[in-house]
Amino acid sequence: MALLELDGVRAGYGQTRVLHGVSLSVGEGDVVALLGANGAGKTTTLRAITGGVRWDGIINFGGRSLRRATTESIVRMGIAHVPEGRGVLTELTVEENLRLGAYLRRGSDGVAKDYDRVFGYFPILRERRKLSASTLSGGEQQMLALARALLMRPKLLLLDEPSLGLAPLVVRSIFDIIRAINESDHVAVLLVEQNARIALELSSHAYVLEVGRVAVEGDSAKLKTEESVRRSYLGY
């Protein structure tokens, strides 16, 4: 049984339907990529999982249905969602953002060590920790969002376009860190990306959404090489 299962998920905003039956699964410790053009429904899929949009169908996490669960309780089950735009709390300092990452783990052991680990991955956050989060650059905010998600020690990490608006070098370093975390902590990752190339490198399995449906799915390694897929769906 996979950690995360979606089956025939339909979702939309008001009268506009965006997802028309999405099915995918993420196994424990897997890195899965969710690709597709702008507007295909990738962000909506992630939002459906964490309860940010009304949906129909089946979404199970660890065997439990997420149907009537509130966002807060879904998160407490072990899902960390870094939304489109990163969701950095700009009214607060960097340190306060991180403390909120550890909010659900107050008092449990290992939190202090996790802070060290996270600062190890992202030393700039330690430097800037007393400053307002609004002073960080785009790349730094992405690091903050990721660091915060790590502090939650989730079982599943949902990442919405982590590469958006970032310089290639920064993107590379962030993705290296994501890989490192996945390998060391066995955190499953569902990665939404428009940068298909780097997403396919990182992931083991991939789904391509088109207009609210899964158009193509398969092994990332294979999808990378299949030229017809690359041309039609991935733009390169």
In the complex, the residues that contact other proteins under the rule CB under 8 A are 15-18, 20, 38-39, 41, 43-44, 47, 50, 52, 70-72, 75-76, 80-81, 83-92, 96, 99-101, 103-104, 106, 148, 152, 211-212
- How many CB atoms are located within 10 Å of the residue 38 CB? 7
- Of the pair 27, 52, the CB lying nearest other proteins is at 52
Q: Name 158's bridge partners.
A: 81, 190
Phi-psi region of 130 (alpha: psi -120 to 50; beta: other; left: phi over 0): alpha
Minimum CB–partner distance for residue 208 and other proteins (Å): 16
Minimum CB–partner distance for residue 224 and other proteins (Å): 25
Rounded CA separation 5/53 (Å): 17
Minimum CB–partner distance for residue 191 and other proteins (Å): 16
- Of the pair 162, 212, the CB lying nearest other proteins is at 212
Minimum CB–partner distance for residue 225 and other proteins (Å): 29
Minimum CB–partner distance for residue 211 and other proteins (Å): 6
- Of the pair 104, 215, the CB lying nearest other proteins is at 104
- Of the pair 133, 220, the CB lying nearest other proteins is at 133
- Of the pair 101, 139, the CB lying nearest other proteins is at 101
Minimum CB–partner distance for residue 124 and other proteins (Å): 20
Rounded CA separation 9/25 (Å): 12
- Of the pair 49, 178, the CB lying nearest other proteins is at 49
